[in-house]
């Protein structure tokens, strides 16, 4: 199996295991909701545009998702202090609680995924993956 096939196989398996765990424990949470909660929860007030860039999604998709999540009381929109045309997204208490629960489940899936792999091997994998990521960020 090539490195490309291996990477996609691991990613697909990881996403499937995470979604299955969410389905069992937090049925209201999709992977996209989780990713959105993580971005919004990463700091005080983040714009939908920045979320879209970080998630590699178009702004319209993120805006629709924000509206859904606001209706479910997972996040709220606040006026942007410098740009009247924009808003800042912030987690509600309900959203922060859901994010904490989801991150705990994510940790369980990560531990399951790394069963039987030594700390040294995990460190090497991490270093290799970070190098690959940085290689793709570097212009040719």
Calpha distance 34→36 (Å, rounded): 5
Question: Cα 27 from chain centroid?
Answer: 17
Taking each helix axis as running N to C, give the angle between helix 59-71 and helix 48-55, from 0 to 180 degrees, rounded to the nearest 10.
120
CB of 37 closer than 8 Å to CB of 98: yes
For the chain, what are the domain ranges? Answer: 3-137
Q: What is the pTM of this model?
A: 0.87
Closest to 93 measured CA to CA, from 16, 37, 32, 33: 37
pLDDT tens series, the chain, 140 aa = 788 899 999 999 999 999 999 999 999 999 999 999 999 998 777 889 999 999 999 999 999 999 999 999 999 999 888 877 888 999 999 999 999 999 999 999 999 999 999 999 999 999 999 999 999 987 76
Q: Fold for 3-137, please state it.
A: Arc Repressor Mutant, subunit A (1.10.10)
């Amino acid at each position: 199996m090539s490195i490309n096939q291996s990477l996609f196989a691991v990613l697909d398996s990881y996403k499937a295991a995470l979604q299955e765990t969410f389905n069992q424990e937090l049925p209201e949470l999709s992977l996209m909701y989780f990713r959105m909660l993580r971005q919004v929860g990463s700091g005080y007030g983040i714009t939908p545009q920045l979320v879209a860039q970080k998630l590699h999604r178009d702004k319209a998709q993120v805006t629709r998702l924000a509206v859904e999540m606001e209706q479910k009381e997972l996040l709220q929109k606040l006026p942007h202090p410098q740009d009247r045309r924009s808003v800042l997204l912030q987690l509600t208490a309900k959203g922060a609680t859901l994010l904490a629960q989801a991150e705990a489940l994510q940790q369980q899936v990560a531990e399951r995924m790394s069963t039987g792999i030594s700390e040294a091997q995990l460190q090497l994998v991490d270093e290799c993956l970070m190098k690959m990521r940085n290689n793709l960020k570097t212009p040719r």
